[in-house]
Structure 1
Amino acid sequence: MLLRGFACNASAMQQAPPPTFGSHAISLFLDFDGTLVDLAEHPEAVIVGDALRALLTELAGRLGGRVALVSGRSIDQIDRLVGPVAHSLAVVGSHGGEVRAAGAIVLRPERPPMLGNAERAFNQAFLDREGVIIEVKSLGVAIHYRQNPSFAAEANALAERFGAESGLMVQKGKMMVELRSAGHDKGSGIAALMQSPPFAGHIPVFLGDDVTDEPGFELCAALGGAGILVGPDRETAAQYRLTSVADVHHWLRGL
């Protein structure tokens, strides 16, 4: 069912700040890295402060439980970084490959065996290469080169080559490239939550900063909702934009 109310032309509205949506009307979906927390040099170095945990708890109460974290990280990683608060929220992890309703079990497919081969190949290729981090996830393995962007071409070429040989999906993001299981994305994860209470019947609003968030923006627009890009302006399916993580926190407090 198409939900009416906030759909608009993305190309015309991408520069506009988002309105203050009524908390009774929306289901809220929040990317993690670059949206709720600032990006860090190492994936495990992000900071989740008590103020953010309190804000997420308050939002869940104010929206009747219609708050979900939507991340490329695994749900296990989100739980470790966010703490017990994560279990009171719905969580979509691994680019839509994992879905957990609040207080429920994690639904995820089997880990493709080829990811183990990819992990070994990535570690071997970048052994002793300063500034490159290999991150192993439930349904993916990523090469982070934020600390040494000179390895970008090599990392992307390796992922593309291995992806073509293995059938794994190549997922590019900010200063990283990942091989992951195919058949899902952040849009499919949001769609799964939107089919059931408490999310069903409300207008979906998704905040994200990366190209990996575009399927989520597109899904929300298709359901009559809205995407909110975080960070510098770029071509996007999001209708609105906030400039920084600090602005996201301020906007969320005003819902």
Structure 2
Amino acid sequence: MSTRDPERRAAVPGARAPGGALPGPAPDPLDPAVEPGRWALFLDVDGTLLGFQGRPEDVQLHASLRGVLNALDAGLGHAVALVSGRTLADLDRIQAPLKLPAAGLHGLERRDADGTIDHGVEGAALDHLRAGLTDLVTRHDALWLEDKGRALAVHYRADPALHGTVLDRVHALCAREAPDTLAVLDGKMVCEVKPRHADKGSAIRGFMARPPFAGRLPVFLGDDVTDEDGFRAVNALGGLSIRVGTQPAGKLTHAAYRLADEPAVEAWLDRVRQAVVPGARPPNG
């Protein structure tokens, strides 16, 4: 198809979905006009690269996707990073034996390509919330509190009807204990609290300020409300923001493009691999 086709024109760098419009289809990396060799690629994990599991510790990259990421890392000059709400240690467990640059805890900690780790500022305000959140989960068997050290997450996947109860209680605790320093993230079957000073957008900007990401076009894939800061950041830098999954009713996104689900993400990333590593055999992990 020619890039003069109106459908294709909406999927090349520089084209933006109008404000409030649904995102358009993700750009085809095999289209020469897209220039994927210039990209710096930032990837959320849960709900983007990999499907959700009952417990976060059950998630791990499968061999075919690990192989695609390994090839992309080489083909993009090591400008590939994971940007997630998980800790750095958990991201390394998931991607092993790869060790891509990564931002954990929604940007509170970041490991650059040279191995330098920025642990950011400690979130001491969370200490005041632990008792209240522990009391909440002990009163509901379906709830589970994940303590990430500098972020706290209450999971209610086992009983989605508890969403309102969890969100109201978390907001009330934050308003009482640390209203100016903590942010509440209302995610997919999880309500998370973290220090307000860092987010996925600041993590991406931090990566983009240093090699090998500096000077490249940022591309970020995410699926949840916690990824909107990342979408805003790459849009401001002239990059590509790609939302994965369906658009929640009544909610807008800052993403300009979309992919249907995690298998669609893997297929799209493999097309990026074909574009940046031409002639390479399909990876086997």
TM-fit CA distance, 1:214: 0.6
Once the two structures are superposed, the pairs formed by residues 46-57 of structure 1 within 5 Å of their partners are 46-57=59-70
Q: 2:190 aligns with which of 176, 186, 196?
A: 176
Q: Identity over the aligned pairs, expressed in percent?
A: 36
Identify the range of structure 1 (32-41 vs 51-60) with the bigger mean alpha-carbon deviation: 51-60
TM-fit CA distance, 1:240: 0.7
Amino acid at match of 2:216: H
Cross-structure match for 1:250? 267
Cross-structure match for 1:97? 108
Native 8 Å contact 1:205 1:220 kept in 2: yes
Regions of 4+ moved over 6 Å:
none
Q: Secondary structure at the match of 2:37?
A: coil
Native 8 Å contact 1:7 1:225 kept in 2: no
Native 8 Å contact 2:113 2:211 kept in 1: no
Q: 1:70 aligns with which of 83, 86, 89?
A: 83
Cross-structure match for 2:236? 222
Amino acid at match of 1:49: H
1: CA distance, partners of 2:52 / 2:35: 29
Cross-structure match for 2:58? 45
Once the two structures are superposed, the pairs formed by residues 130-141 of structure 1 within 5 Å of their partners are 130-141=141-152
Where do 5+ consecutive residues of structure 1 fail to align? none
Q: Secondary structure at the match of 1:254?
A: helix
CA-to-aligned-CA distance 1:100-145 (integer Å, 9 cap, x gap): 1124132113432332332232122211622211111132000010
2: CA distance, partners of 1:237 / 1:109: 26
Where do 5+ consecutive residues of structure 2 fail to align? 1-11, 273-285
Structure of higher CA gyration radius: 2
Cross-structure match for 2:281? none
1:238 paired with 2:255, answer: yes
Cross-structure match for 1:159? 170
**TM-score normalised by L of structure 1:** 0.92
Q: 2:23 aligns with which of 14, 23, 27?
A: 14
CA-to-aligned-CA distance 1:76-96 (integer Å, 9 cap, x gap): 2211222231x2x21011111
Kindly report the root-mean-square deviation, in angstroms, between the aligned alpha carbons of the 2 structures: 1.8
2: CA distance, partners of 1:22 / 1:219: 20
Cross-structure match for 2:8? none
Native 8 Å contact 1:18 1:242 kept in 2: no
Q: Secondary structure at the match of 2:45?
A: coil
1: CA distance, partners of 2:115 / 2:57: 25
Cross-structure match for 1:129? 140
Cross-structure match for 2:203? 189
2: CA distance, partners of 1:161 / 1:115: 14
1: CA distance, partners of 2:39 / 2:241: 12
2: CA distance, partners of 1:229 / 1:23: 18
CA-to-aligned-CA distance 1:194-242 (integer Å, 9 cap, x gap): 0111111111110000011011111111111110000013421111110
Identify the range of structure 1 (200-209 vs 147-156) with the bigger mean alpha-carbon deviation: 147-156
Native 8 Å contact 1:15 1:233 kept in 2: no
* Change beyond 3 A, Cα 1:40–1:116: same
Q: 1:201 aligns with which of 203, 215, 221?
A: 215
CA-to-aligned-CA distance 1:4-57 (integer Å, 9 cap, x gap): 943523545603232314331111000010000001122212232122222211
* Change beyond 3 A, Cα 1:185–1:32: same
Report how many residues are paired. Answer: 250
Cross-structure match for 1:84? 97
Q: 1:61 aligns with which of 74, 89, 106?
A: 74
1: CA distance, partners of 2:42 / 2:218: 7
